[in-house]
Amino acid sequence: MSIGQNIPHDSSRGHVSGQSVFIDDRAFQKGELTVLPVGVPAAAGRLKKINYEKALQAPGILAAYTAKDLHHNHWGTIVAEQPILVEDQIGHYDEPALLLVGTDMEELLRARSLVSFEVEKSTPVLSIDEAIKQNRYIYKANPFIQGNADKALASAPHKLQGVFECGGQEHFYLESNACIAYPLEDGQIEVHSSSQHPSETQHVVAEALGLHLHEVVCVVKRMGGGFGGKESQAAPFAAMAALVAQKMRRPARLVLSKDDDMVMTGKRHPFKNFYEIGFDNDGKILALKAHLYADGGAYADLSSSILDRALFHIDGAYYLPHAHIEGTVCRTNLQSNTAFRGFGGPQGTMTIESIIEEVATYLKMDPLVIRERNCYQGERNTTHYGQKIDHNPLPELFARLKKESNYDVRRKEIDEFNAQATGKIRGLSLTATKFGIAFTARFLNQGNALVNVHKDGTVQVSTGATEMGQGVNTKIQQVVAHAFGIPATHVKVMATSTEKNHNTSPTAASSGSDINAAAALKACVEIQKRLAWLFTHIMKGTRMDDINECPPLNEKELNLNDFEFVNEEIRHKVSGQKKTWKEITISAYLNRMSLGEYAHFKTEGLGFDKKKSQGTPFNYFTNGVAVSEVQIDTWTGEYKVLRSDILMDLGRPLNPGIDKGQVTGAFIQGMGWVTSEKLFYNKDGRLLSHSPTTYKIPNVQDTPRIFNVSFIENNENHQNVHRSKAVGEPPFLLGISVWTALKDALRYKTKGKLPQIKSPATPEEILMELTKHA
């Protein structure tokens, strides 16, 4: 029984022993080249000329390539407008424009300093406000309209208007973008990439080099982290390496340094959201009007879909009887912002959580009371885009965590503590996540799997899922092992390759396990049918020798439910007869029956009308709540997270241990986004915080002093494999509870006024707010 067990991550031993192979661990082949991209030192304007002659004369430099050497220079997941290498117009500072080729990185770095650019500069647009002034937009969403927000606002007893701002976030994966391109015979190219989307990488490489898709193979063994940053933006770097491999007929390796990765790639989208909220004396929301502005950076990338998800999630866990929600993606001269864990969901949810804190301050009520009164429950279970919430556990989550965390007692203790004027203040906040699971682009909700059973009974599985540390391979391994009733150690999930699994979707949207495990299970079921049919004839005593063999499968005569695959055996439930797993696989081989199966899976029941902004975009929702307590030093603005308690609804977890790791990691990453991770840019558009010395991700000292994580029991999620639920992104939104707890603490100093802090709430941000009310 593999399902629900805490078996180790399939790479755990390799990781701790140093034997796991990442891109730059691959052995250098004879004649292999190293590629170094060189960025333009300007954020906006026109590139007139690249002077690289001196660099070509430097020791160890073998070649240099520009946009002119590419067959096709533009790419884009949604809109193909972004250059692989700058040819004319500059989008952002340090945008790649030149490739230097050599065999030694130190020589390449010295040669890079010899490259100069002739640029006709223009004034860069570096903020949402400036983009709005200049009408620089990438995308405008159709509004989400529920009821009549204007009428409801006009009659609301209370109204608040405001602006919520949250910053971007660097992915800070431990393995930077990396790839190796190998030239093969007949002009083919094989690319090994640290990519969440092998098919996208395959497509971009093929187009850039003028090849057909069947001439390019992309292989992904694993990534050292991705978080969305390698969903689309790994592809152009693979194209750069592949260009060199094609031109020079030698393997080409491109591995970015952390500094280059940070200055060349996109981040989480900053948002600036304007809102008007109407509510009654009890704090019940009557109407919400909002306009969300996202900073898309220089190019479209995935920004339109990210904005859409923000619009889907502006309700958070709360019912909006009347709503009018608009959204716009702004074009600036910053790096082209891209997917990041949550994909717009955190920016939408954080807006409503911030609004609730302000409603509570205005009414002089506990914010949790406001949340409980507005939580989806009973007949108030339809979202502002028309999807009904089935099997809604949110009221249970709120009530249980409130009780288990001793919320009411701690709230009184905090009030007493803050009244003592010790130079420190504390805050407490309980927030929620209701995260929709599915790609909002319906066509992406599909996957395929290849399952091969060998004669010794062991199994190899290939899917379109990519492993980036989240444990998707382990979960697929468990699903297949459970299907065949064999130990998980007898199942090996292979490296993802576009020659085995084609036209795949990215491992993203928290759906990697959902889609690919379902496809693998579907393949397993077909193999189960053949083996059960064979066993039926064995039990009948059908003669099967060199002349005769098992007749073809007749599904009308087979009831698979009469059989079970457990403890390395196939058993007939009615007669009690059984055969070992190895015996039945050998029998199948001798009877010339296929022990391999390819299966395709698509998520059913999805449908959303973008013109009306109504429908069912999600397969189901993953839910959770978190309560965090913080303490602020009022003299310095520094703070500590004293305690965080998390309660999640993950259905029936396939691997509770892996899921707990995902919850804790996502929470800490979310906490970093709203507290310490601030991106600093120079006035010319140059990113200043491009290394661990200047960009602060949470460390062990930042984690909550007391940190509790638990799951509720929920067996109702029939929409997903083994009634499990996705876990990758939803807990990220619970890190917001730290930010709202900081805002709650500040209420004790603002004397009834609404605390005005942005995200991330760095100590400097907190101190500036405290100074206003000193």
> Which residues have a catalytic role annotated?
729
Q: Is the dihedral of CA 132, 135, 136, 140 positive or negative?
A: positive
| Residue 499, CA distances (Å) to 408, 449, 462, 507, 597 in order | 58, 12, 10, 17, 15
Nearest by Cα to 489 from 462, 527, 519, 459: 459
Instruction: Let me know how long the chain is.
Output: 774
Residue 410 CB partners (closer than 8 Å, separation 6+): 428, 629
The pair phi, psi for residue 651, each rounded to 5°, is 60, -135
Strand order in the sheet with 446-453: 491-493, 459-463, 446-453, 596-602
Nearest by Cα to 384 from 467, 516, 274, 285: 285
Q: Is residue 453 classed as helix, strand or coil in its secondary structure?
A: strand
Q: Is residue 223 classed as helix, strand or coil in its secondary structure?
A: coil
**CA–CA separation, 624 and 618 (whole Å):** 17
Helices in 266-389 by DSSP H: which ranges? 303-312, 345-363, 367-374
Q: Is residue 698 classed as helix, strand or coil in its secondary structure?
A: coil
Nearest by Cα to 611 from 145, 26, 65: 145
**Using alpha carbons only, what angle is made at residue 669 by residues 667 and 673, rounded to the nearest 5 degrees?**
115
**CA–CA separation, 519 and 437 (whole Å):** 17
| The amino acid at 59 | P
Q: Which letter does DSSP use for residue 729 in this model?
A: S
| The amino acid at 178 | A
Nearest by Cα to 672 from 242, 328, 168, 225: 168
How many Cα neighbours within 13 Å face the side chain of 342?
A: 33
For residues 93 and 41, the answer to whether their CB atoms sit within 8 Å is: yes
Nearest by Cα to 236 from 190, 200, 268: 200
Burial-class residue 186 by CB neighbours within 10 Å (0-12, 13-18, 19+). Answer: exposed
| Residue 309, CA distances (Å) to 184, 451, 460 in order | 41, 34, 36
Q: Between β-strands 323-330 and 285-295, what pairing exists: parallel, antiparallel or unpaired? A: parallel
For residues 62 and 249, the answer to whether their CB atoms sit within 8 Å is: no
**CA–CA separation, 651 and 722 (whole Å):** 9
Give residue 568's region: left, alpha or beta (phi > 0; psi -120 to 50): left
**CA–CA separation, 648 and 710 (whole Å):** 6
For residues 126 and 334, the answer to whether their CB atoms sit within 8 Å is: yes
CB atoms within 10 A of CB 151: 11
DSSP secondary structure of 34-95: EEEEEE-S-SSEEEEEEE-HHHHHSTTEEEEE-GGG-S--EE-SSS--EESS-SSEE-STT-
